[in-house]
Amino acid sequence: MRYQPSVTPLVLAVGLSLVACSDLLVENPKGFTTTDTFFKTGADLNSGTLAIYSAFRGFQGQSNWTTPELASDQTRADNREPNAGTYGPDRLTWSASSGRATVPFGTHYAVITEANLVLGKGPGIQTSDTVTKAHNLAEAKFMRGYAYLRLTKMYDGVPLLLSPEDQANASPTRATLEQVHQAVIKDLTEAKAGLPTAWSGDDGYGNPTQGRVTKGAAEMALADLYLWRSSFMQKNEWQLASDWADSVIVSGLWGLNDDYIKTFLPSNKGNREEILVIANSGVVDRTSNIFQLFYYPRDWGLDAGQGGGWGLIHPTDWFLSSYLPGDYRGSRGFEGYKTDSVYVAGGCGLTICKDTLGDGPMPYKYRKSDNGATWWLGDVDVPLYRYAEALLIYAEAQNELGNTGVAVQYLNMIRARARKGTGAQARTEPHDYGTAGEPLDKVSVRDAIFMERAWEFAFEAKRWFDLVRRDSEDPGYWANSLIAHDPSFAPPKPAPDGFKKRWPIPQAQIDANPALCQNPGYGGTACPPGVTGP
C-alpha cells in the first residue's frame, strides 16, 4: 500500500524543480511514504521507518552521486557527452538556478521529512514490540543526523527542522553550521545507543534487514563528522575523530575483506567491510539502481545489444597513472588485463577497465550479477561507509595528533590488502609507506593518507570532499589539485572559482522563502556570521 506524503513548503519547492528534470534516474525515490495521521500501530511505525529508507535511496541518484564525482580531480566527463547539464559538474558550471549541485538539497530534506514523522509520532504509539519500536526511533535519528551531516558538507548551515511542526513553518531561516552539527551529534549519539550491533533475519514484520543501519554506522558518521570539523572547520577535534573510528575498529564486528573487489560484488552482500550501504536487490525497480551505468561505456552493447551505459564518468589521466606498481586496485598492477569475455569484449582490471571501443579507461568496480542483461535492475549495493575508512580516519587523526608511527601502521593495513595481503597486519614491502625512505613528518604522512583515500575509495564520491576539507589545512590545495589533475581546468582555461567549494542553496527555495540567505558567490542575500564558511 502506498501513502501520500505530507509535503512541507521546503521540500515542495525542491520537489517541483525535480519534476522538470529529465534524468534517466529519477531523483524522487519510489516506495513507501507516510502522513502524520498514519501512525497508529507498531506496524505503522515500522512502515514509516521504511519510508525513510525509501527516501534514502535518492542518495544514489544522478545529481547526488555524479556531482561530487565529476567535480573532483579524480574523474572527468565523457568528451562526447551532449548534455551540458550532465557534464556540468566536471566544469563547475552550476549556479543557484541551474546545475546539479542544487538537487541534493531537496533529496536530503525528503529523508529528514520522513524521519521527523517517525520521531514526532512514534513515541506515542502503543505496541507490545518495544524492541522494534526502539530500533525504529534510533534508525530515524540516525537517518536525520546523517542527512544533516551530508547537507553541511555541501551547503554549510541549513534550515534545522527537527519536527513536523518545524516543517510546517513556511519561512525557516538557515541555522549556523555549529547549531546543525550539535543537532547531528545529538541524533547520532542517541542513535548509536539505540541501534542493534547487527540485524538478523527480518524486522519482525516480514521485511528483510539488509542495508538497515547499525551502531557501527552511527560510529562511522560521528567519526566522519569530527574529521570534517577538524579539517574543514579547523576545530582541532582530532581526538574525537580518532575515538569514534577506533570504536568501530576495536568492536571486532567489522574487518577488511581479503579481496578488495569482493567488497562490492552482489554475490557477497552483507560482507564484514560494508558498514553503511544503499541496498539494492535488483528484483524490481523500487529495489534497484542504475548508478553503475554512470560508469559503463556507451559502446559495450549491454542489454542484449540494445545499448551500453551512459559512459559518463572516466578516470582522469592523472588518477589512472597514479597507482603504485603492484597495487591491484588499479590497472597498472596487472600482468596485462583480466579477461572477462562474458561481460565485454576486451578486458578489465578491478577498479579500472581498459576499453578498446573508444571510450577510454572506465571505472569497473561495480559489477551487476547478471552481467548487464537487465541493466535497469541493478543489484549493486552503493557503498557509503566501509571498514577501510575507519582505518584511514583513525590513521589521519593519529597523524594530526602527532602519532605518526601509529598512523603509518594503519595506513599500511590498507596497502597490504591492496597488494593482495589479508589486511590483518602491516606487511613490510617496498611500497608500504615508510619502507622506501619516504619522509615521516606530519605533512608528508598527511599527503600519503589523502592519496591512499583516493585509491581506496575510487569512484565512491568521496574525493571532492577530501579536496575541500584539505584546502582548509593547506590553502590552495583544492584549486591547485583541479588545475594540475583535471583537464577541465588545464591552462589556459580559467582557474576554478573558490566559492564553488560550497554549493548554492537552490534559487527555487529562496524564491519560495526569501528568509533564506545564499552562500557567497551566488548572489542573493548574504548570510549572518556562522552560517557559511569553515
Beta-carbon contacts of 294 under 8 Å, excluding residues fewer than 6 positions away, are: 62, 65, 66, 69, 309, 310, 312, 313
Q: Which of 238, 211, 364, 361 is nearest to 292 (CA)?
A: 364
Cβ count near 320 (within 10 Å):
18
CA-CA-CA-CA dihedral for 301, 307, 308, 311, to nearest 10 = 140
Cβ–Cβ < 8 Å for 89, 100: yes
Cβ–Cβ < 8 Å for 327, 351: no
* Per-residue model confidence as pLDDT tens for the chain (534 residues): 233 333 344 543 333 233 223 232 334 444 455 677 789 999 999 999 999 999 999 999 989 999 999 999 999 988 777 788 888 999 999 999 999 999 999 999 999 999 999 999 999 999 999 999 999 999 999 999 999 999 999 999 999 999 999 999 999 999 999 999 999 999 999 999 999 999 987 776 667 788 899 999 999 999 999 999 999 999 999 999 999 999 999 999 999 998 888 898 899 999 999 999 999 998 888 888 878 778 776 665 554 444 556 778 888 889 888 888 777 777 533 333 333 332 333 344 555 555 544 566 667 678 778 766 676 788 999 999 999 999 999 999 999 999 999 999 999 999 888 876 544 444 445 567 887 778 899 999 999 999 999 999 999 999 999 999 999 999 999 999 999 999 999 888 989 999 999 999 999 999 999 999 999 999 999 999 999 988
What pLDDT is attached to residue 342? 29
Q: Helix, strand, or coil here: 504?
A: coil
Provide the grid cell at 256. Answer: 577488511
In the chain, the domains with their CATH numbers are: 9-213 (1.25.40.390)
**Separation of alpha carbons 142 and 148, rounded Å:** 10
**Separation of alpha carbons 459 and 467, rounded Å:** 14
What pLDDT is attached to residue 424? 45
Cβ–Cβ < 8 Å for 372, 299: no
Q: Helix, strand, or coil here: 129?
A: coil
What pLDDT is attached to residue 19? 27
What pLDDT is attached to residue 115? 97
What pLDDT is attached to residue 517? 97
What pLDDT is attached to residue 287? 87
**Separation of alpha carbons 180 and 189, rounded Å:** 14
